[in-house]
Structure 1
Amino acid sequence: MMAADQTGLGVPPSLSAKVVGSFAYLTIRDRLPTILTKVIDTIHRNKNKFFEEYGEEGIQAEKQTISLLSKLRNELQTDKPVLELTDGLQDTESWNRYLQRQQRLRGDEEAVSWFKSAWLYMECYMYRRIQEALWLNPPMSDFDVFNEAKTQSFFESQQAVMTMCTYLEGVNKNVEKLSENQLFEQFNKLLQVSLWGNKCDLSISAGQGNSQKSSPIDSLNSLQSFILVDDSNMVWSTLNSAKRPGQSGKSSADRVDIVLDNAGFELVTDLILADFLVSSGLARQIHFHGKSFPWFVSDVTANDFQWTIRQTVAANHKWMSMSGVQWQNYVKEGVWCYHDHPFWTQPHEFCDMAADAPDLYSTLQEADLVLLKGDLNYRKLTGDRDWDHTIGFNTALRGFGPAPLCSLRTLKANIQVGLQPGQGEKLTSQDPNWMTSGKYAVIQFSSPKSE
């Protein structure tokens, strides 16, 4: 395991823990090469497409990109030193500074290498190097090597999407008649649907199919006992305490930000929750935050966000199509806004954000509530450290608190904080893989006011 303070920010010992490293070797030797091999195969299978669109230039780009990716695969399998990026893009300097920071922490004794570095850093670095290989070989710069997997995941989840859009229409039709308790009940259901949508993660399955087949609403009661921390009451209270009178006379929170995770069914569940927040008057505006390039196989990019709404509009299903039209209108009217920022596709922990991406931190400070989806966001929130399970969520955030925030996460990585004494030990005795199976989940809240 690595030294406790990987950031170089001088985190006090009482607020530090070792970076999770026990699974780094296994992950790099097994899952990451599998993902890279699939990327290489995808590019090769599209060889004819590149030739049809770009002629010989496309064929040369395909060969050169595969050559760079094969070299990358060899580097990670043989524990080569981590190399600086050379593509000269907006985030290149920041990535190279991060590498230099890691090297300074090690001293001159050994180079930063694949097997001897923090798991989170190496995973992020691999995806960035994939993009470098593409960007160095135009006209392939904009090719999404993960698009096929994301598209397949969306279409395989069609029945569940139709079910959810039908359910949403029924809720929205009667939303004005709902009592406060009924409104909370619907909010809680759709928050949990968004939570369990996070099970559909293609980076964990190395790109293998991972879609939603059944109705998530029908599964909520049976899944309730697998939510290890449920702070949904605090999320609800935050939304209600942030309400301000609007022009229509209705009171709403001004803004909820959702830091997205996976495309496909999970993104649909996020859009459905966002629709409900607006239609119920719980929020006036939703700001979505996604990735600026394809990332961790299935993470949402601007193209995925727009494509998903277009596909929903075009669906041969009344309520699915009507949902899509409503979402399109929200975007056109500015009720929904999509953003990306280089920070989301960098290896930094979120406690670094105020210093390394002050513009993004300021943007999040404008929100009344920030919902952060998924496992990678949780790892970055907590620094991917081997915290004791009973350490408080606020403590593990190490000062990150631009606004009240809530992590919606199914557990797929070896980190979890904020549990009751003995809870982690009991889970380990019952199910040794409880932290990595995706079977368990948390709705975990923190507010700057609770520090």
Structure 2
Amino acid sequence: MPESYRLMRSYFATTSQWKDYDPFQEQKDETFRSSAAAIYRKSRLIILELAHTFAELDQEKAILDTDASKLQVLFNEMLQICLWGNATDLSLLTNMTHEDIQKLQSVGRAAQEDRKEFILLDNSDEAWKVLSSVKDGRVDLVLDNAGFEVFTDFLLADFLITHTPYVSKVVFHPKTIPWFVSDVTPKDFYTLVPILLNKSFFADYPATAEQQKDLERLVTRWDSYIKSGQFSLSVPQSWKTGQPSELADFWTSPSPYAVLGQEAPALMETFKASDLVIFKVNI
């Protein structure tokens, strides 16, 4: 299967007009657009439903900074949202309707409780111990799917930077070529914010004024984090599709993770500078 994606990429790479073309872009955008109901619900969950905590976190930040137990509860909530956001893998959902996908993307508290039995191993406590022991730390996030899932990845990154005293930077790791239909490319990363701020993109799924305001406030902050480098991509913004990258090519290679240090030493070195690396990809 991976070989077919590399072969497809080789066809486009030999052209002069199609070098940056992503044959799956339209499908990714349409699936993301159809996820609007879940996206607005998520924004409300983060800002309104978590016992109005997110609406008052700025005022309570000093208190939360000294109460790691409260932050850990919120951290576990964010992990759950981020975990189940990966239900939208287009390469696995060829026979599912958009309604089926929206059901999979429901990550409310009741749904989270129901899904605990599907978690084979939960190391969230260990991850929290690592994070809560650092100051101005760095977290690396190896991305999987574009659209709804990367939206939830941004939610986790936002929580870590905005609402904890432990993390000041999150580095995102994309694929360098269109991969397994829905995997995140640099273009997907940089277009997420303008897509979410574009009201016409979700025209078929209108939001209330309150929902729109919640989402705009959140996404505008993400835009500032991208500009400041607090949300950082492992490849530069000037990077072109298919351009070699010693920090990203490993993710579309045939090599297993066990040889990452040998096959991608530069990538391994950058991971050593991170306080926590979260893999969203299928292992």
Q: TM-score, normalised by structure 2?
A: 0.81
User: 2 CA distance for matches of 1:225 and 1:346?
Assistant: 33
Match of 1:197 in 2: 85
- 3-state SS of 1:230 partner: coil
User: 2 CA distance for matches of 1:371 and 1:224?
Assistant: 19
Shift of 1:366: 0.6
Which of residues 171, 177, 202 is equivalent to 1:293? 177
Shift of 1:328: 0.6
* Structure of higher CA gyration radius: 1
Shift of 1:207: 8.3
CA contact (8 A) 2:31 2:147 kept: yes
Match of 2:55 in 1: 173
Cα 1:356–1:203 change in 2 (3 A) is same
What does 1:41-120 align with in structure 2 at a 5 Å threshold? none
Match of 2:241 in 1: none
- Paired amino acid for 1:260: L
CA contact (8 A) 1:202 1:209 kept: no
Which of residues 143, 150, 153 is equivalent to 1:267? 150
- 3-state SS of 1:228 partner: coil
User: 2 CA distance for matches of 1:310 and 1:324?
Assistant: 9
User: 2 CA distance for matches of 1:323 and 1:154?
Assistant: 18
CA contact (8 A) 1:200 1:262 kept: yes
The question of 1:128 aligning with 2:12 is answered: no
- Paired amino acid for 1:240: S
User: 2 CA distance for matches of 1:166 and 1:334?
Assistant: 26
- Aligned-residue CA RMSD in angstroms? 1.8
- Paired amino acid for 1:304: D
- Paired amino acid for 1:139: Q
Match of 1:29 in 2: none
CA contact (8 A) 1:150 1:298 kept: yes
Q: CA offsets per residue over residues 354-388 of structure 1, 9 Å max, x none? A: 1221111111111000000032xx1xxxxxxxxxx
User: 1 CA distance for matches of 2:108 and 2:74?
Assistant: 11
> Which has the higher relative contact order, 1 or 2, with Cα contacts under 8 A spaced 6 or more apart?
2
Which of residues 80, 102, 106 is equivalent to 1:212? 102
Q: Could you say which structure has the higher helix fraction?
A: 2
Cα 1:260–1:192 change in 2 (3 A) is same
What is the aligned length? 245
Shift of 1:208: 5.8
Match of 1:329 in 2: 224
Shift of 1:209: 5.3
The question of 1:221 aligning with 2:104 is answered: no
CA contact (8 A) 2:68 2:132 kept: no
Stretches of structure 2 lacking an aligned partner (at least 5 in a row): 200-206, 236-247
CA contact (8 A) 1:146 1:294 kept: yes
> Which deviates the most, 133-142 or 191-200?
133-142
CA contact (8 A) 1:203 1:298 kept: yes
Shift of 1:267: 0.6
Q: TM-score, normalised by structure 1?
A: 0.52
Match of 1:354 in 2: 261
Shift of 1:174: 2.8
- 3-state SS of 1:138 partner: coil
- Paired amino acid for 2:41: T
User: 1 CA distance for matches of 2:106 and 2:257?
Assistant: 34
User: 1 CA distance for matches of 2:159 and 2:6?
Assistant: 35
Q: CA offsets per residue over residues 60-119 of structure 1, 9 Å max, x none? A: xxxxxxxxxxxxxxxxxxxxxxxxxxxxxxxxxxxxxxxxxxxxxxxxxxxxxxxxxxxx
Q: CA offsets per residue over residues 2-49 of structure 1, 9 Å max, x none? A: xxxxxxxxxxxxxxxxxxxxxxxxxxxxxxxxxxxxxxxxxxxxxxxx
CA contact (8 A) 2:141 2:170 kept: yes
- 3-state SS of 2:168 partner: strand
Q: CA offsets per residue over residues 250-297 of structure 1, 9 Å max, x none? A: xx4x10000000001111110000000001223110000001111110
Cα 1:207–1:138 change in 2 (3 A) is farther
CA contact (8 A) 1:287 1:339 kept: yes
Shift of 1:206: 4.2
Shift of 1:217: 2.0
- Paired amino acid for 1:230: D
- Paired amino acid for 1:352: V
Match of 2:167 in 1: 283
